Amino acid sequence: MPQSVLSIERITALLPAPIPDRAWDDLLFASKAEVVARDGDALTLSVTPDRLDLLSEGGLALYLAGVLGVAHGIPRAVRPGPGSPGLVFEVDPSVAPVRPAIAGALVRAPEGASLDVGTIDEAVRFQELIHATVGRDRRAASLGLYPWERVTPPIRYAAEPIRAVRFVPLGGDEELSGDAFFAAHPYASRFGALGRVGEDRCLVLRDRAGAILSLPPILNGRSAGEARPGDRSILIESTGRDERTVHESLGLLLVVFAARGWTIEPVGVERVGSPRDPGEAAIADRAIDLPSRLVREISGTSLPAPEIEQRLSRTRLAPRPIEGGWRVGIPPWRPDLMAPVDVAEDVVLAAALRPEDGIIPSSRTRGRLLPEIRFRRSVALDLLGLGFAAPHTPVLVSEESVARWGGARPIRLRNPVSAEFAYLRDRLLLSHLPVLAHNTRHGYPQRFAEVGPVVARDPAAESGGATRYHAGLAVAAETAGFAEVAALVDYLLRRHDVGSVREPFELAGMIAGRSARCRVAGEPVAEMGEIHPAILSSLGVPVPVAWAEVDLSALWPFVRRRDAP
């Protein structure tokens, strides 16, 4: 899960009193955050991928103020202002092939305050975390911060010839040509391909005076792209491939400033042949209608309306009664709230539910496991008895694992929170490749196996996918080979009195001629093979690996038929 190291002093500075060490766990119990470590002023926090806002001092302080009851609702400072003259991005059609989406906000410090070193560090640290998660290492979206006092509006966003670019990169002292920057700068080596249009042009944000703010998504310029202590107005910009991700990234970063009372103004967007977009959609509060019926169904109890409104306010949302429920205001840094059920979940979490003593209701009969579940558990026990360790891996897998395997693509999430959790695995192998990579420091041989769910494409299913259960095993050793895993599959099938036919079958990611498939009554129930050395090399695995996977859902009808009276 995403982690960050936060400053306890900066968090508590936004609260009425310091938080005792022993109270952190209790205060965060109802959130999706967990304290990993505390060391002096450093608080290491881990969150689920849908609550990234809690990984900034400002976002966590907003949450804690609600839990402590010292603040409620959305901060009033977060309201679009009247707009500054020339506060607009002029978007040239040349950016369309690579990063057509852009959005921005101008944040202004409250009276008597200005940007300080701590806020700069927090914003930059949180910006890089957003890049790594929502931004998918800047491929989907990237962010930039600029000192508005040193920018001459309007700002033009265009693809310019690289030879025409000259600027001092952020952190540098010498002016570089575009060719020199792309040839030698480490950021250009890492992110340069994301900001190039063809061979000879790159994306540029440039103000009316000709100063380069940045080369998105690579690096800011120093003169107009370096925010410094004492600045009172900061332009925040986000570019990317699609508008939704750009808005989500921008909204998350705004929490750093909103928590400290900075006001927010929208930045307009002008495109050739299109009406001007005022930019308010990127920073404005959203509204989701929450039916009282849904809260009752999810919570399992009828909560009084005032209590529901109080809980929503404590989670820093803004409920307003309507017929049959509430219209709930959602701030831009809560992109995880997309539907009424998400808001209802916040209502339930706000109660800080804790385990209670289990009470078995009066009944003449007791429940028991379904036969299919007992079958799956027996296979897991068989594998454990054969000496296989049992990892527990999530159903969601990363883009990297899918690309590395190279087979038919599994179901991709429409709105993944992170590239680490972008696909629903259709085989356990996609989860077991990272297991192999994470254990290269341990000795060999290594043997591990797992019985778990996968999601296979199924056009007949309402969701387009069907949950099935597989048993997957891997043997990593100098002597690992096809014959060993084939024998293991035969043993598992014979244990349940099922005969099979093994036939050669070329599988993606396997060595040619070293893979096969098993069929029972013509139905495929298992696959096996030796993983290709190219994949093992990319994982850093120094020994051969043999793999097998049994589709227990496909096998169960044959086992059930055998056991039928």
Question: For residue range 258-288, what is the model confidence (pLDDT) as tens digits?
Answer: 999 999 999 999 999 899 999 999 999 999 9
Strands 155-161 and 201-207 turn out to be antiparallel
SS3 40: coil
Domain span(s) for CATH 3.30.56.10 in the chain: 3-68, 286-349
CA distances from 188 to 140, 182, 195, 321, 356 (A): 17, 5, 9, 52, 55
Chain region(s) in the chain for CATH 3.50.40.10: 88-282
Q: Which of 430, 395, 424 is nearest to 411 (CA)?
A: 424
DSSP, collapsed to helix, strand or coil, labels residue 451 as strand
Confidence at residue 565, expressed as pLDDT on a 0 to 100 scale:
47
Identify the band that residue 75 occupies on the pLDDT scale cut at 50, 70 and 90. Answer: confident
pTM above 0.85, yes or no: no
| Residue-level pLDDT at 353 | 59
Q: Output DSSP code: residue 355.
A: -
CA–CA gap between residue 120 and residue 226 (Å, rounded)? 10
Assigned architecture for domain 88-282: 3-Layer(bba) Sandwich (3.50)
Q: If pLDDT is split at 50, 70 and 90, which confidence band does 513 have?
A: very high
- The tokens describing 562, both together, are 């055998």
Residues of each domain in the chain carrying CATH 3.30.930.10: 371-563
- As a CATH number, domain 286-349 is 3.30.56.10
We find that the CATH architecture of domain 371-563 is 2-Layer Sandwich (3.30)
Give the CA angle between residues 379, 381, 387 to the nearest 5°.
110
CATH number for the domain whose boundaries are 3-68: 3.30.56.10
Do 146 and 239 meet the contact criterion of CB atoms below 8 Å apart? Answer: no
pLDDT reported for residue 369 = 84
Give pLDDT tens digits for 103-139.
999 999 999 999 999 999 999 999 999 999 999 999 9
What are the structure tokens assigned to 395, written together?
């159903």
Secondary structure of 97-159 as H, E, C letters: CCCCEEEEEEEECCCCCCCCHHHHHHHHHHHHHHHHCCCCCCCCEEEEEEEHHHCCCCEEEEE
Q: Provide the pLDDT for residue 535.
A: 94
Which strand ranges, in their side-by-side order, compose the sheet holding 523-531?
Answer: 446-457, 465-476, 545-551, 523-531, 510-520, 501-504
pLDDT band at 510 (very low <50, low <70, confident <90, very high): very high
500: tokens are 């099979």
* H or E element at residue 325: strand 325-330
The first and second tokens of residue 477, run together, are: 């050793």
